[in-house]
Amino acid sequence: MPLLSNPQAAQVSLEYFPPRDIAAQERLVRSAKRLAALNPSYVSVTFGAGGSTRTGTVDTVQMLNNLGCDVAPHLSCIGASRDDLHAILNDYRSRGIRRLVALRGDLPSGMGGDTGDLHYASELVQFVRQHHGDAFHIEVAAYPEMHPQAESATRDLQHFVDKVQAGADSAITQYFFNPDAYFAFVDQARAKGVSIPITPGIMPITNYTQLARFSSMCGAEIPRWIRLRLQDFGDDKASIRAFGIDVITDLCARLLQNGAPGLHFYTLNHADAVVQICDNLGVPA
Ligand code: FAD
């Protein structure tokens, strides 16, 4: 029994990261082919996250493009010169790329010094619009639970508004497990005049240790009741997975039932959990 009254209307997009070796690449190809059945509106490819290289992003974009996906590379400005950014953007245009996820990014820890020519994502959005007009649909990041380095929630919201005013077309949120955080953020953004779609980023729960590590880095809160249940499961992967699928299915259903424009899944290059969640929701595959 589908959880949504109109599951066909749910827009799904997917995030992948550049694989590090041949085996990981083969896994990504298998996942991307399986997830293509969900008819994603686009797939995105991370840039520089977890130590991956720029070439890794470009190669993965090309590979997914060859599989027929509409691909949106992530582009971060931190540590890059204007010339670097010109070269990357021109390259993407020559490959037929028409969508970007524009980010500030993070310098690898311990690397102080050269933060590049642009300092915030809003400047990158402005740069892309100035030099490439409307050639790219620009996604930006949003933080319902506040960016971990923000001076305050109010300033963080204003900086999000700055990105929209610089020309962003839509936004993807950092993941969260409390739907109220998302709806409160959307309400506050609307009150500031933001009308672009703000799509919730969804992190399937499949591995507690990994989730706890990601969450402490990005500031996403794992609610106490979820954390305690996951801790109780210990090494019982099947129970973690079954519980995680239930929690995330329920989160997605509440988001879509209450007006979220779609779901952007952080796949971590795995298909199973996303397929199962979409199946539970009744999203056609
Ligand atoms: P910004 O919007 O520039 O904000 C960064 C911080 O600066 C915030 O605290 C903000 O409040 C503050 N700020 C903004 N403007 C100003 C200003 N004018 N003055 C003072 N403070 C300001 N990271 C990667 O390395 N690679 C990826 O591929 C990647 N993909 C991501 C995809 C999504 C959907 C999300 C949500 C995050 C992703 N990240 C990725 C993580 C992201 O790079 C980090 O969260 C980074 O710290 C902030 O990037 P941003 O684009 O949100 O930055």
Mean pLDDT for the stretch of residues 8-22:
93
Residue 10 confidence (pLDDT):
84
Query: Ligand 1 pocket, 196 CB below 6 A?
Result: no
pLDDT in the model for residue 42: 98
Average the pLDDT over 15-43 and give the result: 96
Residue 279 lies in a domain: no
Residue 7: per-residue pLDDT: 81
Residue 5 located in a structural domain: no
Alpha carbon nearest to ligand 1 atom 40, residue = 105
Range of 51's domain? 10-204+260-271
Ligand 1 centroid – CA 156 distance (Å): 10
Summarize the confidence of residues 3-9 as an average pLDDT. Answer: 81
CA of 121 to the centre of ligand 1 (A): 6
Find the Cα–Cα–Cα–Cα dihedral 77, 102, 184, 39, rounded to 10°.
-150
* Structure confidence at residue 8 (pLDDT): 79
Query: What's the pLDDT at 122?
Result: 98
pLDDT of residue 111 exceeding 70, the answer is no
Do the domain assignments include residue 249?
Answer: no
As a whole number of angstroms, the distance between CA 132 and CA 140 comes to: 17
pLDDT band at 49 (very low <50, low <70, confident <90, very high): low
**The pLDDT of residue 112:** 61
**For ligand 1, atom 32: residue with the closest CA:** 141
Asked whether residue 248 is domain-assigned, the answer is no
pLDDT value of residue 162? 98
Which residues touch 87 (CB under 8 Å, ≥6 apart)?
A: none
- Using 50, 70 and 90 to split pLDDT, how confident is the model at 107? confident
For residue 3, is it within any domain? no
Give 51's DSSP letter: G
Question: Residues 84-113: what's their mean pLDDT?
Answer: 88
Ligand 1 pocket member 167 (CB < 6 A): no
Residues of the chain with pLDDT > 70: what percent?
Answer: 95
Pocket test for ligand 1, best of 76, 103, 155 (most atoms within 8 A of CB): 103
Task: Count up the domains in the chain and report the number.
Answer: 1
* Average predicted confidence (pLDDT) for the chain: 94
pLDDT given at position 2: 65
Confidence band for 113, pLDDT divided at 50, 70 and 90: low
Ligand 1 centroid–CA 161 distance in Å is: 13
**Is residue 239 a part of any domain in this protein?**
no
User: Is pLDDT at 51 greater than 70 in this prediction?
Assistant: no
Average pLDDT in the 201-225 region? 96
Predicted local confidence at residue 249, as pLDDT: 98
Q: Is residue 133 part of a domain?
A: yes
Mean pLDDT score, 181-193 = 98
Interval 205-215: pLDDT, tens: 999 999 999 99
Please determine, for residue 70, whether its predicted confidence score (pLDDT) is greater than 80. yes
Note the pLDDT of residue 48. 82
- Residue 84, Cβ neighbours under 10 Å: how many? 14
Q: How confident is the model at residue 106 (pLDDT cuts 50, 70, 90)?
A: confident
CA of 144 to the centre of ligand 1 (A): 13
123 part of the active site: no
Owner of token pair 């989160």: 251
Return contacts of 85-93, CB within 8 angstroms, 24+ apart.
Answer: 85/117, 85/118, 85/124, 85/127, 86/131, 88/54, 89/128, 89/131, 89/132, 89/136, 91/58, 92/61, 92/136, 93/132, 93/135
User: Domain holding 37: CATH number?
Assistant: 3.20.20.220
The predicted structure's pLDDT at residue 53: 73
